[in-house]
């Protein structure tokens, strides 16, 4: 589904500046459209790459690999000795992601964990500098709690789909999207009011939540 956040003219104008030279990335974008696989919007992916370049994280966790598109875009910006751990539960996606990661030549930078993040995350002990959450909306709240537990202080949390194709802010929502929209709206309230996060939601792609973990704010006496 296309983003409704920015009008088509502006997107076309911005696309005019695009200089992606990696054929694998371009092929994966086409594959995702043709096979209706919901990968990160390309403008949001460019923004994610910039965050990785600026934050220079040593350890990155991605929840929701799909075909490995954002994993590769993250990993190609990691500095030496940095690593991306990415979690995917769908067998079909795991197979495609593994193939794409092999093709990318970034196997030394990406570790693909197979399984449900809700089961895997509680067993991870070492914390991360950067967490990218991009999974099922029904799981977002619980995955968010685990993400916060696994995020170092001053670590960055990057969350996709917080404007949910425009439905988060819409007065009328199609029946098919009612439950997921409710989940996203509830998630946004928690995300924006979390005491130990400095958070914002930006209108890039499908709405990106970006936050830095801080100390818990003390209650005023
Ligand atoms: C939106 S896609 C991820 C797209 C990917 N980040 C990209 O931009 O290239 C979401 C993926 O998360 C996976 N997923 C959803 N909930 C999950 C969970 N609880 N644990 C592991 N994977 C999950 C789905 O199977 C799906 O492949």
174-184 pLDDT tens trace: 999 999 999 99
Query: Is the CB–ligand 1 distance for residue 161 below 6 Å?
Result: no
**Mean local confidence (pLDDT), 59-82:** 98
Q: Which of 7-11, 48-52, 57-61, 102-106 has the lowest mean pLDDT?
A: 7-11
Report residue 198: phi and psi, to 5°. Answer: -105, 105
Say which range, 10-14, 26-30, 143-147, has the weakest mean pLDDT: 10-14
- What's the chain's average pLDDT? 95
CA of 86 to the centre of ligand 1 (A): 10
Q: Quick check: CB of 41 below 6 Å from ligand 1?
A: no
> In the predicted model, is pLDDT for residue 41 greater than 60?
yes
CB 210 within 8 A of CB 200: yes
Q: Which atom of ligand 1 is nearest to the CA of 118?
A: 19
Closest CA to 112 of 132, 135, 86: 86
Cα 220 to middle of ligand 1, angstroms: 40
CA 63 to centroid of ligand 1, rounded, Å: 6
* Residue 165 Cβ < 6 Å to ligand 1: no
| Residue 155 zone, left/alpha/beta (φ > 0; ψ -120 to 50; rest) | beta
Q: How far is the CA of 144 from the centre of ligand 1 (A)?
A: 14
Check residue 109 and report its DSSP letter. T
Q: Which residue has the tokens 């500095």?
A: 79
């Amino acid at each position: 589904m296309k983003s409704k956040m920015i009008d088509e003219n502006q997107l076309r104008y911005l696309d005019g500046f695009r200089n992606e030279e990696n054929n694998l990335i371009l092929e994966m974008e086409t594959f995702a459209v043709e096979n209706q696989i919901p990968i990160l919007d390309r403008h949001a992916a460019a923004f994610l790459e910039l965050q990785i370049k600026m934050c220079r994280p040593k350890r990155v966790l991605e929840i929701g690999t799909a075909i490995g598109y954002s994993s590769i875009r993250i990993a190609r910006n990691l500095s030496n000795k940095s690593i991306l751990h990415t979690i995917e539960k769908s067998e079909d996606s795991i197979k495609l992601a593994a193939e794409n990661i092999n093709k990318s030549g970034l196997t030394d930078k990406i570790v693909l964990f197979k399984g449900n993040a809700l089961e895997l995350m509680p067993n991870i002990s070492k914390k991360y500098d950067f967490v990218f959450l991009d999974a099922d909306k029904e799981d977002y709240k619980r995955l968010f709690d685990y993400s916060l537990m696994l995020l170092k202080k001053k670590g960055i949390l990057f969350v996709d789909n917080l404007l949910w194709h425009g439905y988060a802010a819409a007065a009328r929502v199609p029946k098919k999207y009612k439950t997921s929209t409710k989940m996203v709206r509830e998630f946004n309230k928690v995300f924006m009011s979390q005491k130990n996060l400095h958070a914002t939601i930006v209108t890039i792609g499908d709405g990106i939540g970006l936050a830095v973990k801080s100390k818990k704010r003390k209650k005023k006496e």
